[in-house]
Amino acid sequence: MHRRVQTDRPARAGKGQTTIDYVLVLAVVLLIALVALGLSGTWPDFALNSRNQQAVSFWRDQVRPITIPEAHYDMSDHKLYFTMQTQIDEPIVVRNMYLDTKQVSIWKYYTTGSPVVQCTSNTCYTPACTCNDALNPRRRERTVSGDLSLVGIDPGCRQNGAYARMPVWLTYYRPSEPTKILNENTTIDLVFDCQP
């Protein structure tokens, strides 16, 4: 009488199939999660650390009178290009802008033409100057600082695509109360990207 020997080949094939099914399901779940992140606008920016992400969120989403929603430093001309926006329903006039505790001059970009000097380098790089950069209510205004190297500011940009940060301080007033000078002085630094 011959006895049949049972082999475990079908069991092995079943385990291999289970592993393949598991990997496929995991890949589909990961793909769905990535698509959901992309569609919701919460795609993580791995180039920014958590402290920088907090600062970027603060300047973009704050409800203070003035916000700086975007900024970048041009390593070729040593200027900081940024946009300012008011968060209230009346105009604001920015008197002074300080980066890293040093006052800088300001140019304002309009929709056409070249930038308009709001306060000159000569007056801002010596004693304090008044720039009087008028911001319209709830509208983004493109602005550029003077050459930061002239006032001894090193923003820390060493390579294209990197991020740097520095303290920013604004003094301003509302035209309805021109003698009441207000300050936008915060412990949250301005984060900007470095461009060639």
What is the C-alpha separation between 79 and 94, in angstroms, rounded? Answer: 18
Residue 28: pLDDT band with limits 50, 70, 90: confident
Assess contact for 189 and 166: CB atoms under 8 A.
yes
Mean pLDDT on 174-192: 88
Q: Tell me, what's the pLDDT at 6?
A: 55
pLDDT of 130 over the 80 cut: yes
Q: What is the pLDDT of residues 80-98, one digit of tens each?
A: 999 998 888 999 999 989 9
- Per-residue pLDDT, averaged over 15-19, amounts to 72
Q: What pLDDT was estimated at residue 38? A: 59
Q: Tell me, what's the pLDDT at 185?
A: 74
Residue 77 has pLDDT above 80, yes or no: yes
Is residue 4 over pLDDT 90?
no
Q: What percent of the chain has pLDDT over 70?
A: 81
Would you state the pLDDT for residue 75?
Answer: 94
Report the mean per-residue pLDDT for the chain: 81
**Model confidence at 168: pLDDT above 80:** yes
Q: What is the pLDDT of residues 34-52, one digit of tens each?
A: 776 655 555 555 556 777 7
The whole-number pLDDT of residue 1 equals 56
Output the CATH code of domain 50-195: 2.60.40
Minimum mean pLDDT range among 37-41, 75-79, 91-95, 116-120: 37-41
Instruction: Please state, for a pLDDT cut of 90, what percent of the chain lies above it.
Output: 28
Domain boundaries, the chain: 1-44, 50-195
